């Protein structure tokens, strides 16, 4: 499955190949800039290529009139809490100059369909609290927020420090 032709004749979606890891990282940096946290995007092309090659994560690109204008990075997950498989979108970005053309909706419809075809019962992602345009976009699609949960994370140095206690 490499190129998916959409109902919009000018817009196609295709799976990223490992050798396109640089473009995935470029889009993550665009997303980081938009989210006002560009300094947090530390992904490097070599590691991303390894992730894509080993199928630990996947990415798709949206192409409008033959030009790459959107991307999504995602991976499959599961929940012991509900006993179901799911898909998590870790990066989603549509270039500003083509927003409001319905292309983000097509991308989300594609990812939803892909999740269903893979036997997933849910599709999840995060969104910063201040990002009202994205919140409206997601809620207009029917998404809801899990407001009673915070996501915590160990940074690499903390991860090593905590693991050393074992």
Q: Check residue 3 and give its pLDDT.
A: 58
Contact assessment for residue 120 and residue 131, using Cβ atoms and an 8 Å cutoff: no
Low-confidence stretches of the chain (pLDDT < 70) are 1-7
The count of domains in the chain is: 1
The parent domain of residue 153 ranges over 3-163
| Cβ-contact 108, 124 below 8 angstroms | no
* Distance, CA of 152 to CA of 109 (rounded, Å): 29
Residue 6 has a pLDDT of 65
**CATH number (domain holding residue 21):** 3.40.630.30
Residue 1 is predicted with a pLDDT of 46
**In angstroms, rounded to a whole number, what is the distance separating the alpha carbons of residues 69 and 99?**
10
Candidate list 27, 64, 93, 138, residue with the active-site label: 138
Q: How many Å is the maximal CA-CA distance in the chain?
A: 56
Is residue 27 among the annotated active site residues? no
**pLDDT for position 5:** 61
Is the distance from CB of 82 to CB of 110 less than 8 angstroms? Answer: no
Residue with tokens 């939803």: 112
Euclidean distance between CA atoms 34 and 126, whole angstroms? 14
Q: Are strands 58-64 and 67-79 parallel, antiparallel or unpaired?
A: antiparallel
Could you give the strand order of the β-sheet that contains 67-79, starting from the edge strand earlier in sequence? Answer: 3-5, 11-15, 58-64, 67-79, 84-94, 122-125
Helical (H) or strand (E) element with 2: none
pLDDT value at residue 14: 95
pTM: 0.89
- Measure Cα distances from 27 to 13, 22, 49 in Å: 15, 9, 14
């Amino acid at each position: 499955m490499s190129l998916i032709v959409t109902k919009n004749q000018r817009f196609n979606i295709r799976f990223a190949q490992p050798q396109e890891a640089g473009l995935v990282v470029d889009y993550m940096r665009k997303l980081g800039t938009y989210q006002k946290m560009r300094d947090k995007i530390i992904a490097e092309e070599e590691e991303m290529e390894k992730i894509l090659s080993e199928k630990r994560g996947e990415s798709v690109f949206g192409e409008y009139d033959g030009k790459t204008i959107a991307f999504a990075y995602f991976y499959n997950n599961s929940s012991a809490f509900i006993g179901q498989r799911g898909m998590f979108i870790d990066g989603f970005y549509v270039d500003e100059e083509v927003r409001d053309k319905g292309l983000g909706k097509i991308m989300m419809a594609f990812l939803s369909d892909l999740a269903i075809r893979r036997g997933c019962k849910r599709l999840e992602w995060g969104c910063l609290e201040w990002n009202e345009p994205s919140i409206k976009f997601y809620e207009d699609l029917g998404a809801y927020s899990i407001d009673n949960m915070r996501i915590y994370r160990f940074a690499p140095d903390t991860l090593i420090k905590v693991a050393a206690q074992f």
